Amino acid sequence: MNSMSRLMVFVVLPLAGVGLSSAAHGQVSQPPAASSTLFQDVRIFDGKGSPLSAPSNVLVKGNIIERISATPITAEPGAVVIAGNGRTLMPGLIDAHWHAALIRPNPAQAIGGDAGYNNIAAGVEATDTLMRGFTTVRDVGGPVFGLKTAIDSGLIAGPRIYPAGAVITVTSGHGDFRQLSDLPRTIGGMLSRMEQLGGSMVADSPDEVRVRVREQLMQGASQIKLTAGGGVSSPFSPIDVSTFTEPELRAAVEAAENWGTYVAAHAFTPAAIQRAIAAGVKCIEHGFLMDEATAKLIAERGVWLSAQPLPEDLRLGFPAGSVQRAKADEVWPGIARTYELAKKYKIKTAWGTDVLFSQALAQQQGAILASLVRWYSPAEALVMATGTNAELLALSGKRNPYAGKLGVVEQGALADLLLVDGNPLENINLIAEPAKNFKVIMKDGKIYKNTLGG
């Protein structure tokens, strides 16, 4: 079968709903080795903040953007030629705070459910994620090493995954989903169910932290995630508490840096954020209760802020009267203030969603990105979700699982591309309806969706 007929097979597939048929995966994930694709007459959003380009032609060869030219490029025999007709070509979207294994199950299923079922559900969700135009996710907690391998080997369609593996937490910390009946814990004793699954690991001393960090690195973690303070969704971690001691945090940072990568820490309060920074943490997740002094410190130290414009629906999803709802009510007002501080102090800010336990919210992934226009221009929001997020991914150094440049449309970069029907810089809501508006989705030079033919 030549590449043309492969595409024709794919074009007629339903692209919404539960994802692609298994037959399609064979077609889509194993295109010819020397495949090339020529996008004609596209206007380029480069992921770096330049205005849309003049009408251009873009040649992808293998998995690389080989050439960008205002003058016509001759297609090689067998190349897929896509007539852009003035549509916008942009980098694939990147979600910097994602939990690929924790979207479809509810909390009880995630911990107590069947692991085989949960993995298959995560695979189906990964396909949906890619079909929303998200070609890369930074996974900050959950058992996703197997999912990543399945995607990278072409077994199933999904985004590139930068995995943290298990979240590392203290007893009672955010990520400790055990029940009181699971206590007491003995250091060196039996693992809880949650730990056996690789969702989160409890560590209560610098030595234990080192072990758990190194175990994640051994499994292929590209960065380490730990929780430096309380969190909304876990049952026994009040928002105001700081969890790890500075020596414990430093143990994680040393172990990660010895592997050439970094630690990202979940933290809301000034105390938790400042302690994490003192220990050498390179990225603060959320940060929603920060004050001016902490914002200044983050900026001065060149630390990243990985923030999320968390939707109201997520807050309302916690049952009224529950501990989690009370904590959400405490955190949510800080979201707007944090974005204002991030802008004021020019903090390096990544964008993510942090969708948990809700397929319906995951379908809003693009809409959540578009909601950044409360604080940013559409261009700024789209740069954040492409070029800027890719800079954060590059912090993984030698543990970066995907050699090459992501998040930009430029010669020599990895070919993760979206062809958008319209101009998202003028109407960012186009990205909220990917099934309708993304005409082509390409990851690593492979076409996963093409409704234009070619």
Residues within the interface to Zn ion (CB under 5 A): 354
Angstrom distances, CA of residue 371 to CA of 61, 175, 176, 361, 411? 35, 27, 31, 13, 31
What's the min distance (Å) between Cβ of 203 and Zn ion?
A: 18
Smaller CB separation from Zn ion, 3 or 234? 234
Is 358 or 423 the residue whose CB approaches Zn ion more closely? 358
In the complex with Zn ion, which residue's Cβ is closer, 45 or 162? 162
Q: Which residues contact 334 (CB under 8 A, 6 or more apart)?
A: 268, 288, 289, 290
Pair type for strands 160-163 and 167-169: unpaired
Closest to 125 in 3D by CA, of 101, 143, 109, 93 = 101
* Minimum CB distance to Zn ion, residue 199 (Å): 12
Q: What minimum distance in Å lies between the beta carbon of 97 and Zn ion?
A: 6
> What is the closest distance, in whole angstroms, from the C-beta atom of residue 176 to Zn ion in the complex?
14
- Between the CA of residue 436 and those of 3, 14, 443, 451, what are the distances in Å? 24, 12, 18, 10
* Shortest distance in whole angstroms from residue 233 CB to Zn ion: 8
231 or 366: CB nearest Zn ion:
231
- How far is Cα 66 from Cα 88, in angstroms, rounded to an integer? 18
Peptide bond into 184 cis (omega under 30): yes
Calpha distance 360→91 (Å, rounded): 25
Q: How far is the CB of 188 from Zn ion (least distance, A)?
A: 28
Complex with Zn ion: residue 128 or 354, whichever CB lies closer? 354
Shorter beta-carbon distance to Zn ion: residue 174 or 178: 174
CB of 350 to Zn ion, least distance (A): 13
Residue where the block lists tokens 């969704």 = 233
Q: Contact, 60 vs 446, CB < 8 A?
A: no
Please, what is the minimum distance in Å from the beta carbon of residue 164 to Zn ion?
10
- Residue 125 DSSP SS3: helix
CB of 286 to Zn ion, least distance (A): 8
Q: Which of 430, 411, 402 is nearest to 162 (CA)?
A: 402
List Cβ neighbours of 384 (8 Å cut-off, separation of 6 or more).
Answer: 349, 350, 351, 372, 376
Q: Which CB sits closer to Zn ion, 57 or 172?
A: 172
Q: How many helices and strands (H and E) does the chain possess?
A: 18, 18
**And the tokens for 212?**
């758990």
> For Zn ion, which residue has the nearest CB?
354
> Which CB atom, from 111 or from 425, has the smaller least distance to Zn ion?
111
We find the least distance from the C-beta atom of residue 329 to Zn ion, in angstroms, to be 18
Long-range (24+ apart) CB contacts under 8 A made by 342-346 are 342/295, 342/305, 342/307, 343/375, 343/376, 344/295, 345/295, 345/296, 345/298, 345/299, 346/299
End-to-end CA distance of the chain: 15
Residue 380 corresponds to which tokens in the numbers above? 């700024």
Nearer to Zn ion by C-beta: 97 or 399? 97
In angstroms, what is the minimal distance from the CB of 357 to Zn ion? 11
Whole-angstrom distance, CA of residue 404 vs CA of residue 415: 10
What minimum distance in Å lies between the beta carbon of 99 and Zn ion? 6
Closer residue to Zn ion in complex, CB, 52/96: 96
Residue 168, H or E segment: strand 167-169
Residue number, 351 or 448, with CB nearest to Zn ion? 351
Say which residues have a Cβ less than 8 Å from residue 112's Cβ, sequence separation at least 6. 193
Nearer Cβ to Zn ion (65/96): 96
